[in-house]
Amino acid sequence: MKNKNFYNQKNIAFYLAIMLYSTFAFSQNQKTKIYLVGDSTMCLYDDSRFPQAGWGMPFANFFDATTVEIENHAKGGRSTKSFLDENRWQPIVDSLKAGDYVLIQFGHNDSANSKSHPNRYASPEDYKKYMGKYITETREKNAKIILITPVTQRKYNANGALIKSHEAYCDAVLELGVEYHVPVIDLNTKSHELVEQMGEKFSRNLYMVFEPNELPRFPDGFNDNTHFNEFGARKIAEIVLRDIRAQKLELANYIVKPKSSK
C-alpha cells in the first residue's frame, strides 16, 4: 500500500510539473512580439563597443517584459536588399503571429555607393519594392508593421547648415505609408529637428564623437556622425515612443515607464 501511494504521489507531481511547464510555455507564446528590423543605428551592441548603442536598445526598456517580447534583428551594414538576400527576413516571417509588430528602418546602407557596396545598394525605386515585400508579408501573417524613415546624420554644409540626409528614401517611406495605409514614424525629420535645436556644438553629445583622450577607448578622438552613444540612442528611442503615442497606435498600450537602473 505504501508503494502504491508513493507511485501515485510521483505521478501527481509529474503531471503537475507538466501542467506548470505547459502553462508557462503557453503564456510565453501568447506574448505580443515586437520585431525590430533595420541597420546599425537600431541594432544591439555588446559591452566591447561601449558607449555605442542602437536606439533599439533603450527602446526595449519602455515595454513590460511580462506581456511584450522584443526581438532586435537589426544588423549593421544591412539594407532592404541585403537583409533579404542574407535570409534574415524569412525566419521573422515564419515566426510572426497575429497581433505581433514589425518596426522597420532602413535607408543608410541602401544609399551606399553602388560600386563599393553592390550587395547593399538599392535605388529608391528598388527600396520601395523591397519595402513593399516586408509590408505585404507582415500583413499576410495578420501582424502589424510600422515604417520608420532613416534617422538623420549629423553633417553640415559649408554654410554651417545641417544637411537633410537620405531624402529620396524618406520620401519613399512616406509614399509607402499612403499607398499601403500603414503608419509611418518620420524619424528623419524629428531627429533632424533635434540636432538642429541642440546646435552643432551640443549635438555632438548624441553621436560617437569624442575629443582626443575624452575616452580611454579613443586616445586620438573619434568622429562618427552617424552612430549614437547611449545618450543619443535614448533620445532617438524617445522620439519613436512619443510618435507611437501621438499617433494613438495600438502599440502605445504596451508602453510603460522604464525601471530605473541601480
Query: pLDDT digit string (tens) for 194-234?
Result: 999 999 999 999 999 999 999 999 999 999 999 999 999 99
Mark whether 3 and 47 lie in a shared domain: no
In a domain, 260, yes or no: no
For residue 59, what is the enclosing H or E element? helix 56-59
Task: Provide the pLDDT for residue 22.
Answer: 38
Q: Pick from 77, 103, 78: which is nearest to 92 by CA?
A: 103
Task: Provide the pLDDT for residue 11.
Answer: 57
Mark whether 67 and 18 lie in a shared domain: no
Q: What is the CATH number of the domain that holds 142?
A: 3.40.50.1110
Alpha-carbon distance of 15 to 178, in angstroms, equals 53
List, for residues 163-184, the tens digit of each pLDDT value.
Answer: 999 999 999 999 999 999 999 9
Task: Provide the pLDDT for residue 4.
Answer: 56
In a domain, 77, yes or no: yes
Mark whether 26 and 130 lie in a shared domain: no
Which amino acid is located at 85 in the chain?
D
Alpha-carbon distance of 200 to 162, in angstroms, equals 8
> Does 8 have pLDDT greater than 80?
no
In a domain, 158, yes or no: yes
In a domain, 259, yes or no: no
Alpha-carbon distance of 36 to 145, in angstroms, equals 10
Which amino acid is located at 73 in the chain?
H
Q: What does each C-alpha distance from 219 to 27, 162, 211, 216 come to in angstroms?
A: 49, 28, 8, 6
Neighbours of 152 (CB within 10 A): 28
> What range does the domain containing 116 cover?
33-254
Mark whether 129 and 19 lie in a shared domain: no
In a domain, 262, yes or no: no
Mark whether 106 and 3 lie in a shared domain: no
Catalytic residues: 40, 211, 227
What is the rounded average pLDDT for all residues in the chain? 91
| Mean pLDDT calculated for residue range 149-167 | 97
In a domain, 45, yes or no: yes
Note whether 82 and 119 are within 8 A (CB).
yes
Structural domains in the chain (count): 2
Task: Provide the pLDDT for residue 29.
Answer: 62
Q: What percent of the chain shows pLDDT beyond 70?
A: 87
Mark whether 113 and 229 lie in a shared domain: yes
Task: Provide the pLDDT for residue 25.
Answer: 41
- In the chain, at which residue ranges do the beta strands (DSSP E only) sit? 32-38, 52-53, 68-72, 101-105, 144-148, 184-185, 207-210, 222-229
Contacts of residue 250, Cβ cutoff 8 Å, sequence gap at least 6: 144
For residue 140, what is the enclosing H or E element? helix 124-140
Mark whether 77 and 140 lie in a shared domain: yes
| Mean pLDDT calculated for residue range 51-67 | 97
Q: What percent of the chain shows pLDDT beyond 90?
A: 84
Alpha-carbon distance of 124 to 130, in angstroms, equals 10
Please tell me the number of Cα atoms within 13 Å of 99 on its side-chain side: 10
Mark whether 111 and 238 lie in a shared domain: yes
> Does 2 have pLDDT greater than 60?
no
Residue 258: DSSP 8-state: P
